[in-house]
Structures are given as C-alpha cells and as structure tokens.
Amino acid sequence: MLTADSADRSATFKVAFMTGASIFVLGYINALSLNTNDLGVMITPQTGNVIWMGLNLASGYWLYFFENLALFFGFMGGAIFALFTQSMFKNRLHQAYYNWSIFVIPVILYPLVMQYVISAVLSFFIIGFSSGAALGYFRKMYHMEINNAMATGNVRFLGLHFAGAFIKKNPKEVATFWIFFVCVFLFAAGAFLYAVLANIDYGLGLTGDGTIIGIGEHSFRFFRQTLGMGEYRVDIVTSNIARFAGLVVISIIPYFFCPKGTDA
C-alpha cells in the first residue's frame, strides 16, 4: 500500500508527465503544421504569427491574413476556455481525461480529416484553440509553472538557471535548470520524431531521387550516403501512415498517467 509521501510523489510525477507529454506533442504538431499545405506555419509561437499577420495585411494577402487572425483568436480563445474549464470535475481523473481530450482530439483529427474537409482558416482556429487550451491546462512541472507551448521563454530561463546553478554555484538552481532543460528537449524531440516519421524509407540500396516530402531531406540523404545505403527515397503513403500513427500513439499514452482521485 502506498504511503502518503509515495502517493504525493506519484501524483507530482503524473502531473509533470502530462505537462511533458503536452510539450512533446506540441513540438510534433508544430513540425507537422510547418509541412502541410493548409497551415505552413508553426501553431504555438504567437510572436511569429502576429508579425505575419501585420505583413500579410500590409501586402494585401487577405487569405493569409485571415488565417493568421484565426490562429490568433483560436489560441487566445483556447487559453480562456481552459481558465473556465480546468476545474469542471471534482474527480481529478475525470478532469485530466477531459483536459487531455480537449487538447489531443483536434490534433489527431487534423491530419486525418480536417485538412481535407474544412477550410484552412477554420483549421487554424481549431488547432490554435487546442494549443491554447493545452497552454492553460498543462503548466506544472514539479515545483515550476512553465510555458509548454513555445521554447522562447524556456530557453531564456534555461540560460538564467544555468548561470545560477553552475556559474554562481547555487545548488537550489540545479533542479530548476534541469526542468527547463527537459522542457526544451521534449519540444525539440517532438519535432524530431515528426521528421523521422515523415522521412520513412521504403527500401535500402535504391537509386534515383524518388519523391521527398517533409523536412530533414539533406540530413537523411547524408546519413544514407555515408553508410553506403544508396539514394534516399520516401514513400508518401507509408510516410503519411507513419506520421498519423506516431501522433496517435504519443497522444494516447498520457491517458495512462492521468492523476487520480485527489491528486494535485
């Protein structure tokens, strides 16, 4: 039987795991959104989105402007929605299921359904809403509240706490430094997984260029040639299946780590 201390540690870990999982998925979905016909920009960094909004307005690119606008209001709406719904259920397990579902269901549906049946503007709004909600729901990483949706602030704090921990020799800063390190790493790892799945190879020792999609073409080509494996090729169908399957798997796993009962 779990003691009170071990139960508290388990609950703290589960909350941190959910936050880390949201960072990983957001890294994945940002890489995916950069490489789709409808979106073509990262979802969560609103700094870039607001800049593009102004540029597209000034240039008269009205469709792109409305896409940026939809992403802006979707992201802001998701954050507001999370504020009012993060305590809907007394049972923490039910609340965790609800929070995670609001986040991942649109993320999973986008590459499977949304990009084919709805407009790009609406896609921007829905994915922005989902990401904004994740920012509101999943912020706690052990003793820290972090920004899970973009790396800018986390990289800044990573540098500050590195200086505090290893230059000023403050032992209290060490744990905080590693928390921000993990956050930045998970965001990059999500994007890396997308790149790997988007570049699934369907044969060794093949020649000819084939069709290359996604990102990482030069890196994958370099490694294949270095290892004497022949030219790099990608099967579009296999790649799409792999990307969607990867997204489903990393979205389902956190359901098994949802805090239960009175877990904080």
Residues 6 or more apart whose CB falls under 8 angstroms from that of 118 comprise 126
Residue-level pLDDT at 208: 40
Handedness of CA 247, 249, 251, 254 (dihedral sign): negative
Tell me the two tokens of residue 9: 């540690």
Helix (H) or strand (E) holding 154: helix 151-162
**Residue with the larger pLDDT of the pair 48 and 235:** 48
Which pLDDT band, with edges at 50, 70 and 90, does 227 fall under? very low
Residues 6 or more apart whose CB falls under 8 angstroms from that of 77 comprise 125, 128, 129, 132
Residues 6 or more apart whose CB falls under 8 angstroms from that of 100 comprise 18, 137, 254, 255, 258
Residue-level pLDDT at 241: 74
**Residue with the larger pLDDT of the pair 218 and 193:** 193
Q: Letter for the amino acid at 26?
A: L
Q: What is the DSSP letter of 171?
A: G
**Has residue 85 got a pLDDT over 50?**
yes
CA atoms of 189 and 142, how far apart (whole Å): 20
pTM to 2 decimals? 0.80
